[in-house]
């Protein structure tokens, strides 16, 4: 293992989420679990806080909670910037870069030059720290300007296995499937799309199998597609489709209609239309999420970029360490089938967090304070039945009323809404992202709040057993006071668990 003189990233902000020590960061890349370590590569600018000089940063963790940042892994050069991609462990040494006993890590990424994008390869024989660009690059070139973001996995149907690459023609809103025996020579298999949400370019695809409700005899494939703009909360968002994959073609269980040319051009889809599609997150700040290679099927884990292209370059950075952006919490994925037969993706945060204080609120009418003087990260779990209340609100307050954040659930509409102010934030930031619940008769929230830097914090809300998730950046408010209020009546059987993060 190559040593590093960088201390663990966890020393400063953020407390629960990965963020680089300094400079710009966006999409997670090359997530891979190898030899007991989680490797997180990510889009970065080694020279500043702007979106430029794109290279792959690198961090490792043994527990997905405490991260050590290393020197950048793959650097841009005069020929191309290093856009998004993936890493696999070549256990069979199909590429010839390693050995059967000491397999190489192989990265497939987009080499991006003005007016041209193609897929390139780099490999590492020291466990993922030092990378060599393949002299035969590019390994897959369609001669187009928006062909990018390869996610590679090993497909094995019980016969001879091979590598599959999932990439996008971004402007065409198409996912393209290719196969290879050696990771260096690729042949076309099939295409998916355009279909479903098409209000922006398609980016950062991923595809993987999951057992429905844990039944290994009932396995479906999940295709993730990030798009920008056109997300459910405006700007960036990530859509998912469930279906079957036979090693050549992906077939959705419930196909979406093909959009007409007019829709592809004017990019106008209503909120009602968008809510007919699957989304991994209903907030504005969860984008380009991809999963780790090297984990068992039941351990499928996703990390996403916690930001939005509508304002990412204008969000205040911390003056002390000059970094922009953070990643979401790592989320364990599973698949369930509801009573109507629809397959739904579930997400569960998988970092360790103390139990904290359990507060029995009983029959709650009016407002009660849950915690005050909270300066760092916190987790709040709230459960209740509506009783005769018409709604419930959780309020996050600071010394300034302009920074109050309110999360509410309305009984009649079955919607959960987050109201975030724009205090100190750029235009396009204020708003009220929301999501509609299927189970609207009760409150079941799992809320994670973190301080990313001196001026920006984050909220990740998981509800309906993780089938509905809402992630949003908020103006930082420290110290914070948390309170919960019943609206229009009393809640019944209310309980809150409040815990503060301890590093």
Whether residue 383 contacts residue 443, with contact meaning beta carbons closer than 8 Å, is answered with yes
Please give the pLDDT value at position 1.
36
Question: Could you list the active site residues?
Answer: 27
Please give the pLDDT value at position 491.
97
Residues with Cβ within 8 Å of 65's Cβ and at least 6 positions away in sequence, in order, are 10, 16, 351, 352
Residue bearing tokens 């998912």: 240
Please give the pLDDT value at position 3.
40
Q: Name the region of 411 (left: φ>0; alpha: ψ -120 to 50; beta: rest).
A: alpha
| C-alpha–C-alpha distance, residues 355 and 370, integer Å | 15
Please give the pLDDT value at position 321.
55
Q: List the beta bridge partners of residue 480.
A: 374
Whether residue 277 contacts residue 197, with contact meaning beta carbons closer than 8 Å, is answered with yes
Whether residue 368 contacts residue 498, with contact meaning beta carbons closer than 8 Å, is answered with no
| C-alpha–C-alpha distance, residues 481 and 477, integer Å | 9
Query: Three-state SS for 274?
Result: helix
Whether residue 421 contacts residue 430, with contact meaning beta carbons closer than 8 Å, is answered with yes
Cα separations (Å) of 153 from 109, 147, 161, 223, 365?
13, 18, 10, 13, 53
Residues with Cβ within 8 Å of 3's Cβ and at least 6 positions away in sequence, in order, are none
Full DSSP string of 4-48: --PPBGGGSS-SSS---SSEEEEEEEEEEEETTEEEEEEEEETT-
| C-alpha–C-alpha distance, residues 467 and 23, integer Å | 34
Please give the pLDDT value at position 313.
87
| C-alpha–C-alpha distance, residues 132 and 97, integer Å | 10
Reading the chain (503 residues) residue by residue, the pLDDT tens digits are 344 445 555 444 567 899 998 899 999 999 999 999 999 999 999 998 899 999 999 999 999 998 999 999 999 999 999 999 999 999 999 999 999 899 999 999 999 999 999 999 999 999 999 999 999 999 999 999 999 999 999 998 766 899 999 999 999 999 999 999 999 999 999 999 999 999 999 999 999 999 999 999 999 999 999 999 999 999 999 999 999 999 999 999 999 988 887 787 767 789 999 999 999 999 999 999 999 999 999 999 999 999 999 999 888 765 555 667 899 999 999 999 998 899 999 999 998 887 789 999 999 999 999 999 888 899 999 999 999 999 999 999 876 777 889 999 999 999 999 999 888 888 888 899 999 999 778 999 999 999 887 788 999 999 999 999 999 999 876 788 999 999 999 999 999 999 988 65
| C-alpha–C-alpha distance, residues 234 and 237, integer Å | 8
Can you give the three-state secondary structure of 372-435, one letter per residue? EEECCCEEEEEEEECCCCCEEEEEEECCCHHHCEEEEEECCCCEEEEEECCCCCCCCCCECCEE
Whether residue 249 contacts residue 374, with contact meaning beta carbons closer than 8 Å, is answered with no
Full DSSP string of 158-215: SSS-EEEEEEEETTTTEEEEEEESSSSS-EEEEEE-S-S--SSEEEEEEEEEEEETTE
């Amino acid at each position: 293992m190559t040593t590093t003189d960088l201390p663990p990233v966890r020393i400063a902000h953020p407390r629960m989420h990965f963020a680089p020590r300094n400079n710009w960061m966006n999409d997670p890349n090359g997530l891979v679990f190898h030899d007991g370590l989680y490797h997180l590569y990510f889009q970065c600018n080694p020279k500043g806080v702007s979106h430029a000089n794109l290279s792959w940063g690198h961090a490792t963790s043994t527990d997905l909670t405490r991260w050590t940042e290393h020197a950048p892994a793959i650097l841009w050069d005069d020929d191309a910037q290093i856009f998004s991609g993936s890493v696999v462990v070549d256990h069979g040494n199909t590429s010839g870069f390693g050995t059967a006993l000491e397999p190489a890590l192989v990265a497939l990424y987009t080499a991006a030059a003005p007016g041209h994008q193609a897929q390139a390869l780099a490999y590492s024989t020291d466990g993922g720290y030092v990378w060599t660009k393949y002299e035969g690059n590019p390994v897959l070139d369609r001669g187009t300007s928006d062909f990018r973001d390869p996610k590679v996995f090993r497909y094995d149907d019980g016969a001879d296995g091979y590598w599959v690459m999932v990439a996008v023609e971004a402007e065409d809103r198409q996912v393209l499937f290719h196969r290879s025996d050696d990771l260096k020579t690729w042949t076309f298999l099939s295409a998916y799309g355009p279909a479903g949400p098409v209000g922006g370019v398609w980016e950062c695809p991923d595809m993987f199998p999951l057992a429905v409700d844990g039944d290994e005899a009932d396995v479906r494939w999940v295709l993730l597609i990030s798009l920008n703009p056109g997300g459910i909360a405006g700007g960036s968002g990530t859509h998912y489709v469930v279906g079957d994959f036979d090693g050549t073609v992906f077939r959705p269980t419930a196909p979406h209609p093909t959009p007409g040319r007019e829709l592809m051009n004017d990019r106008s889809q209503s909120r009602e239309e968008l809510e007919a599609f699957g989304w991994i997150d209903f907030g504005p700040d969860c984008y380009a999420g991809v999963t780790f290679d090297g984990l068992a099927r039941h351990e499928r884990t996703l990390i996403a970029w916690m930001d939005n292209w509508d304002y990412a370059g204008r969000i205040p950075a911390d003056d002390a360490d000059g970094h922009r952006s953070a990643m979401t919490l790592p989320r364990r994925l599973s698949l369930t089938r509801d009573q109507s037969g629809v397959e739904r993706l579930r997400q569960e945060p998988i970092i360790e967090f103390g139990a904290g204080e359990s507060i029995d609120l009983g029959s709650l009418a009016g407002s009660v304070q849950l915690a005050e003087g909270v300066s760092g990260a916190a987790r709040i779990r709230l459960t209740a039945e509506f009783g005769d209340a018409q709604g419930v609100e959780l309020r996050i307050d600071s010394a300034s009323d302009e920074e109050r954040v309110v999360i509410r659930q309305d009984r009649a509409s079955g919607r959960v809404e987050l109201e975030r102010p724009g205090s100190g934030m750029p235009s396009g930031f204020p708003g009220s992202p929301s999501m509609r619940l299927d189970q609207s008769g009760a409150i079941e929230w799992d809320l994670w709040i973190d301080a990313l830097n001196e001026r920006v914090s984050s909220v990740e809300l998981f509800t309906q057993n993780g089938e509905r998730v809402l992630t949003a950046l908020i103006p930082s408010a420290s110290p914070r006071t948390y309170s919960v209020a019943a609206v229009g009546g009393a809640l019944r059987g209310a309980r809150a668990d409040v815990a503060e993060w301890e590093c």
